Structure 1
């Protein structure tokens, strides 16, 4: 008789990757064995879980409901295993993490160094990139993702403190071009563009006051894929910058940059910590998740 938890794992992977062959490759077993596990589950629940075609398998209506239950069961099993391990083991080994560049540089790195001080037998490989990645495909145990999420049943998404943006410019720029009093005034200003952002945020800035949201179509001649370079351009007096509030705190405090439209709330972007839902959580990952949620959850 096939192990039911193994069959559930096979079912979850097949639903994620869309075919027996793809799931087999990920699980290091034959497509025939994958099919046997799926058939065993279908016999147990007495209904079809997957619609089969020559190339791809898709979930039935009941299969979608059953998938949610399987993921919950596997997550609970992983948590139980992790609890047992933590009772007699120390967190150790390498932890691979990915995060957006600006958030990583200004917010995450200080938290990671404190984490490493706390757990001397862990080492961290932190990759900072604004590219959208699949943590499971690229071998990351945890990923910090900025912006709206698409539902991914294979990932747990833990919300972090919102990523707040503020608009600012150098005193020299404001002296030469005037200080915007209303969001609509930005239409007549040189607005610096961060290339990796989606088109909506790079071309339209949103401001809120007393519950009223104003969307401003902005334009500018400079778009850069590195936010630090844009901040340098703003310091040099070239235009108005919108950026992560915590990353700009030092420049705003020193007067190198001045916040514009201070009575308005700038755009707020969601940010989440992602990790696999159906993979056994290692003790080092559990410690990191707890550490990050304690600071930013």
Structure 2
């Protein structure tokens, strides 16, 4: 028995003074209402209504139940109204998880504008290069960069694509020569990204098709910012993904084999609910998506 539904029906019967009129309002049969009230009375062990062929009146217990039911239904309605209003408001505590490099280079710069636009949002940004348990960590959204997302109960929304190109410092290339073909890379030290799915080989897209180059990185690190810094120090070649843009613009890193790139992984926003995103998560992802398009 749905107690709230029965409460609502009982109150309607009392207010309309008739099973038939209440049934008409609720779109059900009078027989169904009569059966529900009987079940309610049986569960309470008390009569709520005194009925004759012509009249209906409340018992003392019926009056008590009616008064209390009105208060309960009113409180439930207020809670529902508050939740509906809050669901559309960009406010509350937003917990975001991302990798260190993506968090520092992409998310952190957009936070001042986001928080100025939504001053009622409290933000926690947790940076971790490991894949964390979102539910256990209590995160609203996690930003992950993957070629594909494995099947799971989590919901993945693609918000961007990341190019993967090969870079080196000009000083390194001046000392060691510039690779002319993909196979020349086998004679150059590679700075490998420990968490990449291409750690031991590069599957390069080129004008002539796909070229697979086996790798044995002499140093492997689990943070893209460290990959960038080691390349800046002239230790070899590598693919420091999105964090190389500023260095390329300054000329401190240059493209190697500019006609060749690794397959572009996707940037996913991971959430834990199949329901529509709440307002603060939607606002954050919209803000991030605009930044990624730029």
TM-score, with normalisation over the residues of structure 2? 0.66
The 3-state SS of whatever aligns with 1:102 is helix
Residues 82 and 282 of structure 1 are in contact (CA less than 8 Å); yes or no, is this contact kept in structure 2? no
Tell me which residue corresponds to 1:149: 149
Residues 92 and 121 of structure 1 are in contact (CA less than 8 Å); yes or no, is this contact kept in structure 2? yes
The 3-state SS of whatever aligns with 1:207 is strand
Tell me which residue corresponds to 2:120: 121
Measure how far apart 1:186 and its partner are.
0.5
Deviations 1:165-208 (A, max 9, x none): 1111111211121111111111111000122334xx11111211
Number of residue pairs aligned between Structure 1 and Structure 2: 216
> Structure 1 CA distance, aligned partners of 2:81 and 2:200?
48
- For residue 221 of structure 2, the aligned residue among 220, 224, 228 is 224
Residues 169 and 253 of structure 2 are in contact (CA less than 8 Å); yes or no, is this contact kept in structure 1? yes
Aligned residue runs from structure 1 range 112-191, under 5 A = 112-147=111-146, 148-152=148-152, 154-191=153-190
- Structure showing greater radius of gyration is 2
Of 130-139 and 270-279, the range deviating more from structure 2: 270-279
Tell me which residue corresponds to 1:268: 264
Measure how far apart 1:156 and its partner are.
2.1
Measure how far apart 1:164 and its partner are.
1.2
Tell me which residue corresponds to 1:19: none
Per the alignment, do residues 237 and 290 of structure 1 end up closer, same or farther by CA in structure 2, a change over 3 Å counting? Answer: closer
Per the alignment, do residues 172 and 126 of structure 1 end up closer, same or farther by CA in structure 2, a change over 3 Å counting? Answer: same
Measure how far apart 1:286 and its partner are.
2.8
> Structure 2 CA distance, aligned partners of 1:178 and 1:222?
20
> Structure 1 CA distance, aligned partners of 2:174 and 2:277?
55
Measure how far apart 1:209 and its partner are.
1.7
Tell me which residue corresponds to 1:33: none
RMSD of the TM alignment (CA)?
A: 2.6
Tell me which residue corresponds to 1:106: 105
> Structure 2 CA distance, aligned partners of 1:194 and 1:167?
12
> Structure 1 CA distance, aligned partners of 2:273 and 2:151?
12
The 3-state SS of whatever aligns with 1:161 is strand
Measure how far apart 1:155 and its partner are.
2.2
Aligned residue runs from structure 1 range 1-297, under 5 A = 1=1, 84-85=84-85, 90-147=89-146, 148-152=148-152, 154-198=153-197, 201-210=198-207, 212-244=209-241, 246-278=242-274, 281-296=277-292
Per the alignment, do residues 209 and 281 of structure 1 end up closer, same or farther by CA in structure 2, a change over 3 Å counting? Answer: closer
Measure how far apart 1:219 and its partner are.
1.9
> Structure 2 CA distance, aligned partners of 1:187 and 1:81?
64
Per the alignment, do residues 85 and 296 of structure 1 end up closer, same or farther by CA in structure 2, a change over 3 Å counting? Answer: farther
Give unpaired runs (5+ residues) of structure 1.
4-79
Measure how far apart 1:258 and its partner are.
1.2
Residues 82 and 283 of structure 1 are in contact (CA less than 8 Å); yes or no, is this contact kept in structure 2? no
Per the alignment, do residues 183 and 108 of structure 1 end up closer, same or farther by CA in structure 2, a change over 3 Å counting? Answer: same
> Structure 2 CA distance, aligned partners of 1:159 and 1:291?
14
Measure how far apart 1:108 and its partner are.
1.6
The 3-state SS of whatever aligns with 1:140 is coil
> Structure 1 CA distance, aligned partners of 2:192 and 2:84?
50
Per the alignment, do residues 169 and 209 of structure 1 end up closer, same or farther by CA in structure 2, a change over 3 Å counting? Answer: same
TM-score, with normalisation over the residues of structure 1? 0.66
